[in-house]
Amino acid sequence: MHRQTPFPFTEELSDEEDDTNKEDDNPEELYLVGYAQVSVLGLQYYDGTVTDNEIVQLIREPHNPDDINSMWVNNIRGERLGYVERDKACYLATLVDQKLVVIEGVVCSKSFRDSYRMPCNVYFFSRLPSMEFVRRLISDYGFQLITPREDDFILQQQEAKAAPEKVMSRDEQKRKIDNMFETLIQSSSKRQSMEPSSVITCKLMQHQKEALAWMVERENGSGLPPFWEAEIEKGSKEIIYKNTITNYSSKYRPDALRGGILADDMGLGKTLELISLIATNKPGAVLPPVVDIFQSPVQKPDEDANPPKKRKKLEEKENRSKKCTPKLADKSLSIADPSPCPPKLGGPRATLIVCPLTVLSNWVEQLSEHTRQGSLDVHLYHGADRAKDAKILASNDVVLTTYGILAKERNLPNSLLEKVHWLRVILDEAHLVKSPCAQQTSATVSLEADRRWAVTGTPIQNSYKDLFSLMMFLKLQPLNDRYFWTHTIQRPLLSGERSGFSRLQGLMSAIALRRTKETQIDGHRLVELPPKVVTVYPVELSSEHRRVYDQMELKGKNLVGNFIEAGTTLQNYANVLSIILRLRQICDHAALCPEHADLLAAASSSQGPSLASPELLQKLLAQTGEEFDCPICLSPPHSAVITRCAHVFCQRCIQRTLMCDKKSCPLCRFALTDSDVFSAPLDEAENESVTDSNVKSSAKIDALISLLQETREREPLIKSVVFSQFPKMLTFAQQPLKDAGFKFVRIDGSMSATKRKEALQAFKSTKSKSPTVFLLTLKAAGTGLNLTSASHVYMLDPWWNPAVDEQAMDRVHRLGQTREVHIFRLIVADSIEERILDLQKRKRQFAQVAFGKSQEQQRLMRVEEVRLLMRV
């Protein structure tokens, strides 16, 4: 369970339910101090059950009228077991309330217990600088602390498991994480396929039929959830259900997990797969037959890394784990899985699809295009005229809404979406639900549904911790509880224990399906798409703009160099980001940052956060509001505001944070009041939908026009997509496009769903006078759209995260594309943009291993990235 030596892990120290008030949203590393034994009392008063070596919850209850220091003990189902003895609970409460430690409990094995008390080991974790102080304090409080350096600690761990764990190297962790999803489809020697309902009017590709069969089996199967086994209790011959990672046992069968994670790569047709599921697995429907597809055996993951003896042991262990519901010889008892349970007539009917606003029109279009007219009742729950009665929603086959609507209704006392009991809920682009603290995450969890699907081409964007929010949504017990997720998955992974990765791999193998465009089965690629050619197109700045850029870069380089030399880079990170942002904007168009000199002067003269002026903050917010996620909810800022210490938040998130007693910035702890929070000024001149005809062109816009004209000369009807992260850059490009005779449409974050749909339909039109250029912002249209009517993509500026750029490219290079796709990345020569491309390469190489690095290593990486970008 725990390693012999201290190990780091990342976790919030506060167990408060109000996540917006947590001070540890930017968590620090904690280390294992040791464990001590306490007694759990009051067992005779509660019905909760527990077994040896079972993980239990220690829940602080400061508002208990009988004892303000009380600490309850629950099992994984939330059933009360008892409470920690008072003379120990008072000290534990002090340590927890002062946020000196995080504590976890494990019921002792082979220890005496009676009907009134039960021994429990309490494990203490603290920050590294506080470890010695905490160790002395625990001993002063009278606990007999057993540390990882003592023999008793090792013996205790060997009782809990067969042998001490070996730690995986960083390279091994990276390789395993990289390969985990790619091996899911190859983990068995047999695949299954299913034809869709006749409601579907198009022919599915083979991999889509296999996805349909897998999803129907996941939805209707009645097997035990991952990490649960059924066995016969000795003596009583009763069937007992045991959770293998927490040791919890119960006579009640856990509910089947009906749903999972559809993680097919971008462009493989996940939308059509889901529409086929909705049309096929309907209440009362007769399901098409399942066809077995046998394939040649494939090499198991990491087989080459294991010697024959070890491989044999692993195979035996895997075979044992598969026998979680064996058939018994005694015919009077059976713990075999119940029969499949398809949707029944008279039960829930409607499927709720939650997606980003940008994708809404694509769902409407796909449902109309791929199903027989009138075969499915579809309701669009968006806009002011949406339904007012929950019965109307429940009477449809499909209800479409957005994450914004779902989060907004979460605060309403009579939310229609929460009133309906859904047949299934589908989260499209589910990686947007990546923070347990976010409003939209809690909104998705609160929905009542029989079946749940998280759909994303990037299930792990930053690290495996992104999966916890999906476990919350899927309601996979006990991993939907942060306490048990941390104890059984997150901490073992962070400490490099093989059990952590084995559990994660087993979990994903059970509930996720992942195929990529490069996936090969029986020697053939899953899909054959036309080639994608990426060209880095160098752009030379004009002499005037080069002079402005060089001056800005020199001043910025000197300033950042001073920060690095003084060791204050991260304290001044907001100023560093604003300098980098200005350099990137000059590469696009100098008019994007007309106040560059004043901003740099303000940054260079600042001796601390308190000297930042409201004017500077407002200007920075106006340019960066779309650049960052809110650090509290980890989602794009809604009604973005910026603090005096130059950090961007959602207005509601920071307001709720400042309502607590300690009024400080969650990131830098700078003291804040309401008057230190600024919103962007409303300025009609900033309206991005208005073309500023007085602004001159730029080198990048000239290069874009030139490339478009060359393409038009060869093929006049070729359609092109132009991406930029700056909406105003697209505005500046509009007049030159008109002057060159190009017809274009545009989508950005300010447009309504109706306007977006009109723009999409106009661009996809095959009429001779239809638009041939589509202007898109990365934030508003980088995911979810199907733009296969285009074959040329122009990336006006590089994004920090290479996955964002690649998602944008895959709007064009996806199923349905019949032409060779040409991607042009317009990069200013000898500029920060070239170094951003270098940074993207590094991020691709180290993205999946980032979870294995300590917080200090990650801080050093951020400083190193600044060095690279600023050439310091």
Please report whether residue 656 resides in a domain.
yes
pLDDT: is 709 or 243 the higher one?
A: 709
Mean pLDDT of the chain: 78
Tell whether 722 and 828 lie within a shared domain: yes
pLDDT of residue 1: 35
Please report whether residue 574 resides in a domain.
yes
pLDDT: is 685 or 441 the higher one?
A: 441
User: pLDDT band at residue 851, thresholds of 50, 70 and 90?
Assistant: very low
Average pLDDT estimate for 225-229: 91
Both tokens of 12, joined, read: 């919030």
Average pLDDT estimate for 340-367: 91
Both tokens of 132, joined, read: 């010695």
Please report whether residue 801 resides in a domain.
yes
pLDDT tens profile 485-533: 888 887 777 767 777 888 888 888 889 998 887 777 667 777 888 999 9
Average pLDDT estimate for 445-472: 85
pTM: 0.68
pLDDT of residue 581: 82
Q: Does pLDDT of 38 surpass 90? A: yes
Tell whether 520 and 561 lie within a shared domain: no
pLDDT of residue 839: 81
| C-alpha–C-alpha distance, residues 46 and 83, integer Å | 10
Q: Which amino acid is at 755?
A: K
pLDDT of residue 355: 93
Long-range contacts of 380-388 (CB under 8 A, 24+ apart): 381/405, 381/416, 381/417, 382/357, 382/753, 383/753, 383/754, 387/416, 388/416
Contacts of 173 (CB under 8 A, 6+ apart): 493, 496, 501, 849, 851, 852
Secondary-structure percent of the chain, ordered helix, strand, coil, rounded to 5: 40, 20, 40
The structural domain count of the chain equals 4
pLDDT: is 305 or 175 the higher one?
A: 175
pLDDT of residue 317: 46
Tell whether 515 and 565 lie within a shared domain: no
Tell whether 751 and 846 lie within a shared domain: yes
Tell whether 116 and 18 lie within a shared domain: yes
pLDDT tens profile 556-611: 888 888 888 888 776 676 677 778 888 998 999 988 876 544 555 545 554 444 33
Q: Which of 682, 710, 735 is the last residue of a domain?
A: 682
**Can you tell me whether residue 520 is helix, strand or coil?**
strand
Give 107's strand partners: 120
Please report whether residue 231 resides in a domain.
no
Q: Which of 478, 500, 526 is the last residue of a domain?
A: 526
| C-alpha–C-alpha distance, residues 872 and 870, integer Å | 5
pLDDT of residue 721: 96
Q: Does pLDDT of 189 surpass 70? A: no
Tell whether 60 and 151 lie within a shared domain: yes
| C-alpha–C-alpha distance, residues 345 and 28, integer Å | 51
Tell whether 156 and 176 lie within a shared domain: no
pLDDT of residue 691: 45
Q: Does pLDDT of 550 surpass 60? A: yes
Please report whether residue 463 resides in a domain.
yes
pLDDT of residue 848: 42
Identify the H or E element spanning 401: strand 398-402
What values do phi and psi take at 362, rounded to 5?
Answer: -65, -40
Domain span at residue 620 reads 542-682
Q: Does pLDDT of 447 surpass 70? A: yes
Tell whether 766 and 830 lie within a shared domain: yes
pLDDT tens profile 314-332: 455 445 444 433 333 333 3
pLDDT: is 767 or 24 the higher one?
A: 767
Q: Which of 616, 648, 682 is the last residue of a domain?
A: 682
User: pLDDT band at residue 369, thresholds of 50, 70 and 90?
Assistant: very high
Give the percent of the chain with pLDDT over 90. Answer: 34
Tell whether 619 and 656 lie within a shared domain: yes
pLDDT of residue 325: 36
pLDDT tens profile 683-695: 333 334 434 556 7
Give the percent of the chain with pLDDT over 70. Answer: 74
| Other residues' Cβ atoms within 10 Å of the Cβ of residue 332 | 6
Residue position matching structure tokens 């409407």 = 364
| C-alpha–C-alpha distance, residues 764 and 179, integer Å | 37
Please report whether residue 433 resides in a domain.
yes
What values do phi and psi take at 270, rounded to 5?
Answer: -60, -35
pLDDT: is 330 or 132 the higher one?
A: 132
Which whole-number Å values give the CA distances from 813 to 373, 375, 801, 803, in the listed order? 29, 31, 19, 14
Tell whether 670 and 788 lie within a shared domain: no
Contacts of 690 (CB under 8 A, 6+ apart): 731
DSSP state string for 603-671: HHH-SSGGG--HHHHHHHHHHHTTTS--TTT-SSPSSEEEETTS-EEEHHHHHHHHTSSS-B-TTT--B
Q: Does pLDDT of 16 surpass 50? A: no
Tell whether 345 and 483 lie within a shared domain: yes
Residue position matching structure tokens 């080198």 = 699
Residue 459's CATH number: 3.40.50.10810
pLDDT of residue 607: 46
Q: Does pLDDT of 236 surpass 90? A: no
pLDDT of residue 574: 66
Please report whether residue 411 resides in a domain.
yes
Residue 40's CATH number: 3.30.70.2330
Q: Does pLDDT of 5 surpass 50? A: no
User: pLDDT band at residue 392, thresholds of 50, 70 and 90?
Assistant: very high
